[in-house]
Chains A and B, each alone.
Chain A
Amino acid sequence: MKLIIAIIKPFKLDEVKEALSQVGIEGMTVTEVKGFGRQKGHTEIYRGSEYTVDFLPKVKIELAVSDEQVTKVVEAISKGAKTGKIGDGKIFVVPLEDVLRIRTDERGDAAI
């Protein structure tokens, strides 16, 4: 099992969700986050005062998948989030030790 963490541009969330549901993903966790990579921030000017805003708004998606789903899920996210411009985000794939569905106490792949 793997935990997939993707940081994407906020306006691409719907396309990513659509792409994921097409490969059979039915659940995910989404958080509004801030950060920066190569895209850097922007400047705001209020009359004579200029401020650099480093942290840009991004969306973080987290989802747990079985090993055989990993490739197509990563492809789906990448396809949905891509604009080809700097700041499209990143996808992290992390090994996942165990999963437990609280309602039924199922574990592992069955709980995903």
Chain B
Amino acid sequence: MKPLRFLLGVACWLALAGAFSAVRAADAAAPAAPAAPTSEERIAALEAYINNGDPGKSLTGVAGPGHNAWMMTSAALVLFMTLPGLALFYGGLVRKKNVLSVLAQCLGITGLVTILWWAFGYSLVFGTSYGSAFFGGSEYFFLKDVTSAPNTNYAYWVSQNVFSMYQMMFAIITPALIVGAIAERMKFSAILIFVTVWMFVVYFPLAHMVWGANGFMNGVWNGEAKIPAIDFAGGTVVHMSSGWSALILCMILGPRLGFGKEKMAPHSMVLCMVGTGMLWVGWYGFNAGSAVAADGVAANAFMTTTLATAVAAFTWGMLEKITRGHASVLGFCSGAVAGLVVITPACGFVNSTGSVIIGVLAGVIPFLACTKLKSMFKYDDALDTFGVHAVGGTLGALVTGFLATSSVNANLVGAPATKNGLAALVTNGGLWLAQLKAIGLTLVLSVVATVIIAFILKAIIGLRPTAEVEQQGLDITEHGEEGYIA
């Protein structure tokens, strides 16, 4: 209990400090009167709104209603992926006695990460004041100066407060994905502390590297990027980071009591399927929303996401039918999620053919990881976070390097991309090498950081509940409730 109390104390302190600095900011704001724009400039600004471009002299600091509307919708959709999509997808897959523990972990992470994001996270990812390719800045701590005006480093027409909330939903679902590997056997307090540290060590730096205006691996938007890699909606940041960390954490944690001896079948495939459907729907916000505009790139991502997911779900199901004689609901669900994961880094860069190829690969390779690899090495990745998200995320990041084309996204050969070498890689081939470097960096950061955090936590507070608690189930012991009465 003590670490939790400490966390709460820190949270209260942060709340006070943040409120104070926000009040100060309001006092300091003093708007200056701009010179009146000409008619030409006003028309140019309206055209820029349609083209999702720079408004120039008129309409600066104003959010575009259409783009803003789509991004608010997308933010809600991505939250819907975690609550209740992922919660039900995972919740259905555990045993009856642990269903609430999974829901509580998803809810707890949502609240915790929101506080971290407000206080430091957004600024560390999307700020630039440190002038570093690895860490953002301190200018937006406590969401100071994050208003309805756009931050033109990231979007000309989307309010920065909307952009910030949209990106926060990614920060929420990423650690929530890890829950799948360690389900049914980790202390709630240990999970919250692990996630807190992990966000600062892995997620915030990685998200800055990939999406930050001066990020190390932001090939599309940072002309100075040392690794000109591309990741449209988070194949490395979200799925690789969570998936590889999940594998390491579940190995350090050890298998569930009775693993391989007792029956640990899903307690409700119905809930699991309902959750899968919600994930799929929510993922449109995740992928098409990652255009940060309601533009043609978003439209392309919407199509590729649909194609890859449907193809992967069908492929996984048919593989089961051929190899085992039954196409299972869990097979279709796993294929759908794998398809969504693999298309994530690619969705805004590939065309319809590329997305169908990705769908087939997503149906085959994660299928082999979940069915063959896991039984070969006997790690207890309870709900296959590694098999689906790490393997799928890595696969997606790599194939994006082969299938990305500037015909669907001109930004691949835009000004920053020309400067850092991305444009040449896209045109002449060889992008996969940059992708491989991004994969390597993500993998090493996730694995090393997780090993260190997990061993320190294990030594200080312990990661697992007692055997008796685990046997009884985490619902009653950790949360004082039961999922199903009678």
Binding site for B on A (CB under 8 A): 44-49, 51, 53
In the complex, whether B266 has a CB less than 8 A from a CB of chain A is yes
Q: How many A-B residue pairs have CB under 8 A?
A: 27
Residues of chain B in range 214-230 having any CB-CB distance to chain A below 8 Å: none
The reply to whether B265 and A48 contact each other, CB–CB distance below 8 Å, is no
In the complex, whether B330 has a CB less than 8 A from a CB of chain A is yes
A45 vs B375: C-alpha distance when bound (angstroms): 13
B interface secondary structure, majority: helix
The reply to whether A51 and B384 contact each other, CB–CB distance below 8 Å, is no
A47-B330, A51-B263, A53-B263 given; 20 more Cβ-contact pairs under 8 Å: A45-B324, A45-B326, A45-B328, A46-B93, A46-B328, A46-B330, A47-B331, A47-B334, A47-B371, A47-B384, A47-B387, A48-B370, A48-B371, A48-B372, A48-B374, A48-B375, A49-B264, A49-B265, A51-B264, A51-B265
User: B26-69: contact bitstring with A at CB < 8 Å (1 yes, 0 no)?
Assistant: 00000000000000000000000000000000000000000000
A61 vs B364: C-alpha distance when bound (angstroms): 48
Residues of chain B in range 302-336 having any CB-CB distance to chain A below 8 Å: 324, 326, 328, 330-331, 334
Closest 9 interchain pairs by CB? A48-B371, A47-B370, A51-B263, A48-B374, A48-B375, A48-B370, A51-B265, A46-B330, A46-B265
- Closest CB in chain A relative to B376 CB, distance in Å: 10
Number of B residues near A (Cβ < 8 Å) is 18
User: B349-391: contact bitstring with A at CB < 8 Å (1 yes, 0 no)?
Assistant: 0000000000000000000001110110000000010010000
Enumerate 21 A-B pairs (CB-CB under 8 Å) in ascending A order.
A44-B265, A45-B324, A45-B326, A45-B328, A46-B93, A46-B328, A46-B330, A47-B330, A47-B331, A47-B334, A47-B370, A47-B371, A47-B384, A47-B387, A48-B370, A48-B372, A48-B375, A49-B264, A51-B263, A51-B264, A51-B265
The reply to whether A46 and B375 contact each other, CB–CB distance below 8 Å, is no
> Residues of A contacting B324 with CB < 8 Å?
45
> Residues of A contacting B372 with CB < 8 Å?
48
> Residues of A contacting B334 with CB < 8 Å?
47
Q: Of all chain A residues, which has the CB nearest B328? A: A45
A48 vs B366: C-alpha distance when bound (angstroms): 11
A49 vs B264: C-alpha distance when bound (angstroms): 9
Q: Of all chain B residues, which has the CB nearest A52? A: B263
A48 vs B384: C-alpha distance when bound (angstroms): 9
> Residues of B contacting A53 with CB < 8 Å?
263
- Closest CB in chain A relative to B259 CB, distance in Å: 10
- Closest CB in chain A relative to B8 CB, distance in Å: 38
- Closest CB in chain A relative to B316 CB, distance in Å: 10
A49 vs B380: C-alpha distance when bound (angstroms): 11
> Residues of A contacting B328 with CB < 8 Å?
45-46
- Closest CB in chain A relative to B95 CB, distance in Å: 12
- Closest CB in chain B relative to A54 CB, distance in Å: 10
Q: Of all chain B residues, which has the CB nearest A48? A: B371
- Closest CB in chain A relative to B82 CB, distance in Å: 22
Q: Of all chain A residues, which has the CB nearest B326? A: A45
> Residues of B contacting A49 with CB < 8 Å?
264-265
